[in-house]
Amino acid sequence: MKRLLIAAVVAAFLPAGAQAQTAQDLAKGAGDTKNVLNYGMGYNLQRYSPLTQINKETVKRLEPVWNYSYDDNRSEESQPLVYNGVLYVTTNSATMAVDAKTGHQLWKTKVDYPPETPRIVCCGIINRGAALYDGKVFRTTLDANVVALDAKTGKEVWKQNAIDFKTGYSMTVAPLVADGVVITGISGAEFGTRLFIDGWDAATGKHLWRTYTVPAPGEAGSDTWPGDTWQHGGGSTWITGSFDPELHTVYWGIGNPGPFNAAVRKGDNLYTDSVLALDPKTGKVKWHFQFSPNDPFDYDSVAEMVLADIKVNGKPTKVVMDANRNGFFYVIDRTTGKLLAANNYVKVNWAKGIDLKTGRPIDTDVIVKARAGEKVELWPSILGGKNWEPIAFDPHRGVAYANTLNFGMPYKAIPAEYKAGDWYVGMDLTQGWIWPKTADGKDGPRGYLKAIDPMTGKAKWEAPSDMPRFSGVLATAGGVVFSGQLTGEFEAFDADTGHKLWHFQTGSGVEGQPVTWEQDGVQYVAVSTGIGGVYSLFSGDERLKGIPAGGSLWVFAVRK
Ligand code: CA
């Protein structure tokens, strides 16, 4: 009792945001409506809020409360975190703490980069957000450092280098703190690298473990790589994993094998395009499931591994689900790694389906020809049925909301020669990136926001968009689903019908990850805006020319 009283007195004198977040706080993050403590709005990455002040009726009166400039012209894909009235957000070049109610900047700590840094980044100069734990803000940097800042002051507490970035490694991922360990992934599969997941001590930065996603000779799975191909085998880990605190298991998606040209690395190429179930304390792999063996198509399986407890054949089941870039929606038993369902949620022509017994795709001649070096029309394109942009899952409606991509592309493998620090893909990039939707060359909607039944992959509704959406999705108990457009509109949809209820022009393309929280009886929604991600870099979509860059954070609430 005395200790409690002292703690209360101490807390009263600390400035807002200064109290330390515990492992328990993080574990309860999904139900904590006052804070946004986790990437993905909860360890389960469901991006679902029980808040209802913003609902199907009131959303029409949603208005901006404040706007905060990032002073940065890159793609803004970072997810804000909120703790005790302070909002923590990152760009590639800075970490910032902002008063969540007023938008007033409390501190800003810049990242100092060596001038050659941007050269080694494949798909946008970005950062996807921070992690909070024990009074510290953790982030990664493009030159492959992991940094801990004091949440109160922004001052650096520790900084650790993961690897020399110059041969093609970069970090954009938001760290995950699980069982007190700071876990980070890394990018670089397009540069002939061999990638990994790291664990760091939260207090000191001490390196605790490294789990390679491509095994060395003699390690489990090494027989899936011929010769020395494992050395440039890729397997990046650029999106934050989910965590089940009861099972003490982290679920982390693994990227594509390198090079794209599959003929040079005959075999399954474990653990590329897989999900790894890991022990957060040791990095030990508990089980793995591979989505796309011997993948020629850059079908990174990094995108979020959403955890939910759903009924499968009438039986409550702990699952991990994934709207995979290869076009199939997977539901897997997360205690065992057993596949429960896999159905296409977009047009797919490289596989007829997924064999539920083996988990392996049933190949069509498209992938057979592609591996043999012939030119094919590929659906979905190498950007996938969905790229990195995270889905939301409404546990009450049992529906996943995903910004899906609706275009194919011409694909042709060519020889690849490894040169340290250069692109190493083995794909003819001169063939163009977008395949016309119809045979007569007309271009229909290139994307849909879809409400997907996880067990069938079928859409309950779909909201088309001429230009594909590359923002994260947020679902709420108010029956409102938030998403954003590359043309700048932040949008709200009816969760049951897909009817568009509201939108607001943010001034640049929305590629951020919306979040919501409640402070002093008001529900707020925040999203970053700022164009410059993978579609704007590679699609050649002329319509993007009229969209100005310029990163900022918008916060909205319902007008009383
Ligand atoms: Ca990739």
Helices of type H across 501-558: 534-538
pLDDT above 50 for 106: yes
User: What H or E segment, with its residue span, contains residue 273?
Assistant: none
Q: Is residue 252 within 8 Å of residue 275, measured between CB atoms?
A: yes
Closest by CA position to 23, among listed 243, 279, 283, 173? 243
Residues 6+ apart with CB under 8 A from 294: 257, 262, 265, 266, 267, 268, 269, 371
> Token match 């913003």: residue?
54
pLDDT above 90 for 560: no
Local confidence band at 3 (pLDDT 50, 70, 90 cut-offs): low
* Structure token digits, residue 77: 């894909």
pLDDT above 80 for 6: no
Q: Is residue 426 within 8 Å of residue 446, measured between CB atoms?
A: no
The pLDDT assigned to 115 comes to 81
* Structure token digits, residue 429: 């990039």
CA 130 to each of CA 92, 239, 547: distance values in angstroms, whole numbers, following the listed order = 11, 12, 27
Handedness of CA 90, 93, 94, 100 (dihedral sign): negative
Is 298 annotated as catalytic?
yes
Closest by CA position to 178, among listed 275, 63, 39, 359? 39
Among 16-20, 53-57, 276-280, 419-423, name the one with the lowest average pLDDT: 16-20
CA 276 to each of CA 145, 314, 554: distance values in angstroms, whole numbers, following the listed order = 23, 27, 35
Local confidence band at 432 (pLDDT 50, 70, 90 cut-offs): confident
pLDDT above 50 for 311: yes
Distance 141 CA to ligand 1 centre (A): 19
The rounded distance, in Å, linking the Cα atoms of 403 and 491 is 12
Distance 106 CA to ligand 1 centre (A): 36
Integer distance in angstroms from the first to the last C-alpha of the chain? Answer: 41
| pLDDT tens digits along 125-134 | 999 999 999 9
pTM (2 d.p.): 0.96
The pLDDT assigned to 20 comes to 85
408-424: average pLDDT:
94
pLDDT above 90 for 123: no
Distance 379 CA to ligand 1 centre (A): 16
| pLDDT tens digits along 237-277 | 999 999 999 999 999 999 999 999 999 999 999 999 999 99
377-385: average pLDDT:
96
Amino acid identity for residue 238 in this structure: W
The pLDDT assigned to 538 comes to 85
Residues 6+ apart with CB under 8 A from 311: 317
Local confidence band at 429 (pLDDT 50, 70, 90 cut-offs): confident
The pLDDT assigned to 293 comes to 98
Compare 388 and 442 and report the one with higher pLDDT. Answer: 388
Compare 433 and 208 and report the one with higher pLDDT. Answer: 208
Distance 296 CA to ligand 1 centre (A): 11
Q: Is residue 147 within 8 Å of residue 136, measured between CB atoms?
A: no
| pLDDT tens digits along 460-515 | 999 999 999 999 999 999 999 999 999 999 999 999 999 999 999 999 999 999 99
Average pLDDT of the chain to the nearest whole number: 94
Distance 256 CA to ligand 1 centre (A): 5
Distance 495 CA to ligand 1 centre (A): 31
pLDDT above 70 for 535: yes
The pLDDT assigned to 193 comes to 96
pLDDT above 50 for 1: no
Q: Which entry of 298, 300, 322, 394 is annotated as an active-site residue?
A: 298
The pLDDT assigned to 235 comes to 98
The rounded distance, in Å, linking the Cα atoms of 310 and 142 is 38
Q: Is residue 170 within 8 Å of residue 188, measured between CB atoms?
A: yes
Adjacent-strand bridge partners of 287: 277
Residues 6+ apart with CB under 8 A from 126: 74, 75, 76, 77, 78, 92, 172, 532, 533
